Chain A
Amino acid sequence: GQSLEQPSEVTAVEGAIVQINCTYQTSGFYGLSWYQQHDGGAPTFLSYNALDGLEETGRFSSFLSRSDSYGYLLLQELQMKDSASYFCAVKGSGSARQLTFGSGTQLTVLP
């Protein structure tokens, strides 16, 4: 089956940089995604990595190492509005072809 591990909580201060790690196990591999969810809101798509390396989108970057079954989400110049839950998700093949999510990392940004 599939499984993902990510820290349950991370706390940082405004303006800082934070890295949220995600390790995964899956049958086949078609990509690692990141979603952000504010309390009571819809999970929203942040990034998708199918190949190794770093993808940058504004203050957010996502990294993937397929050989290590590992990825991370990097948030720079943290703002209060970045306080939210962040989910990594992996898409595999066969019986694992649906997007499987981790348990989420609750990020708290302090002033």
Chain B
Amino acid sequence: EAGVTQFPSHSVIEKGQTVTLRCDPISGHDNLYWYRRVMGKEIKFLLHFVKESKQDESGMPNNRFLAERTGGTYSTLKVQPAELEDSGVYFCASSQVSSGANVLTFGAGSRLTVL
């Protein structure tokens, strides 16, 4: 079984530019989550999809962040325009509906560096 795949693994952009991160969850996992870890701090929740619907986006920092999951398969997280404080590792995780948020399978993350 393929795991959660994230692309790119590392992105370096300048302040003001746009970056789009992609996540392919495990096939059949309806729950998809985005998390972020900044500067070695805690892994913080950003948002949660159930299939193509945004179930909870309370963790999104501001309107420069836009997440989509068209068709309920892969998801994208766009940051536009990027700011210095957006640097960090963005993790995607997925789970089956039955396990909810109790057991998440994470991807290896997309490291974003904003210069």
Interface set of A (CB-CB < 8 Å, partner B) = 4, 30-31, 33, 35, 40-45, 48, 87, 89, 91, 95, 97-104
Contacts and interface: CB of A to CB of B under 8 A. Distances in A.
B49 interface: no
**Of residues B41, B45, B56, B59, which shows the largest number of chain A Cβ atoms within 10 Å of its Cβ?**
B45
A89 B104 CA distance: 11
A33 B102 contact: yes
18 contacts: A4-B42, A33-B103, A40-B108, A42-B91, A43-B43, A43-B93, A48-B102, A87-B42, A91-B102, A95-B58, A98-B33, A98-B45, A99-B33, A99-B102, A99-B104, A101-B42, A101-B44, A104-B40
B101 to A, nearest CB: 5
Interface of B: 3-4, 33, 35, 40-45, 48, 56, 58-59, 91, 93, 101-109
A44 B93 CA distance: 10
Contacts of A44: 106
A33 B43 CA distance: 13
A48 B103 contact: yes
A103 B44 CA distance: 9
Contacts of A101: 35, 42-44
